[in-house]
Structure 1
């Protein structure tokens, strides 16, 4: 990754900044701050913030998950599943000024490292807003799973590790 931007662990004090980036980047697919706060509380090891030149430029939220259906969009989970069988990349969002810097690829590397460290053999995600092309470049492939709450144009994807 070029420049001075670096990924660091997210803290509870970062939730509002992550939610503001989501609002700016995701449009109809944004989620309430409570969603990010809960994901961070449930699995802090999977939550990161991108900072550069004193400003927040992006975030990454990942966590263990079970089964083919992804967590519902903008819904609290309550707890992580007891029998998680995959690692879920819940969200990666970058402000426009952080795109093209290598930050997204570095975030994928972080997610892969976290998934492997936790003993998972796959990462799943739901691509929205046409992001499936980016995810294919990151070695994700389409998975035949409906992600109902994410809309008809969403694409469920998986990357085997």
Structure 2
């Protein structure tokens, strides 16, 4: 892994919240997975502009090179207009892990290139949220980030959620491919996430391994009894 000093300041321009976003508490949440397309040295403003441009047409391939059936759901860049839909989906899919709309909105404001929604027939049926973070650090559930660390060494997958009735189209696999691509573009060697609802076998299929430790166990309590912190080392064969 590279020294933190190699990355110092890389995310400095995206660590402060825009003045237009008002938040009422401190911290963030974590439950799954996401992607980003920020390039090294890219500012938050550039990332938001890039995400907005890509959201116009939807993302079927995202440059992963894999063909997707036109009838399959597609990932597209999220916008502020999707926050209500994301909140409704979260209430359905994660009823025991509630999060406020402002928590989702803050992630979009801080790292728009990591926020996507899954769409079929123009209906939002899933979402994915992620952002750069520090390895082995788990943000508290339903709390605000307040910024992105300047020495981030991990792409942290906050959540990936898809309605049960539209699963089975390979959306998770495409999402993982996108996360790997994203991590390479922002120059980090690890992906991290919190597996909930006993889904660690699913994430293990995509190269994630459970990380253990008493401090991690304490931070996982708010995520439920089956929650596991998992890491994927992108340098591993």
TM range (shorter): over 0.9
User: Which has more strand, going by share of residues?
Assistant: 1
2:228 is aligned, of 143, 150, 155, to: 155
Q: What are the superposed Cα offsets for residues 96-126 of structure 1, whole Å, 9 maximum, x if unpaired?
A: 1221111111111122111111111010000
- Correspondence for 1:59: 127
CA distance in structure 1 between the aligned counterparts of 2:91 and 2:80, rounded to whole angstroms: 18
TM-score (norm 2): 0.65
In 2, Cα distance between equivalents of 1:22 and 1:112? 24
- Computed over aligned residues only, the root mean square deviation of the Cα atoms, in angstroms, reads 1.3
Does 1 or 2 have the higher relative contact order (CA < 8 Å, sep 6+)?
A: 2
The answer to whether residue 110 in structure 2 is matched with residue 42 in structure 1 is yes
Deviations 1:56-96 (A, max 9, x none): 11000010001412111111111111211111000000011
* Aligned residue in 2 for 1:123: 191
- List gaps (5 residues or longer) in structure 2: 1-67
Structure 1 outlier segments of 4+, above 4 Å: none
1:25 aligns with 2:98: no
201, 206, 209: which one pairs with 1:138?
A: 206
Structure showing greater radius of gyration is 2
Shift in Å, 1:37: 0.4
Task: Give the TM-score, by structure 1 length.
Answer: 0.94
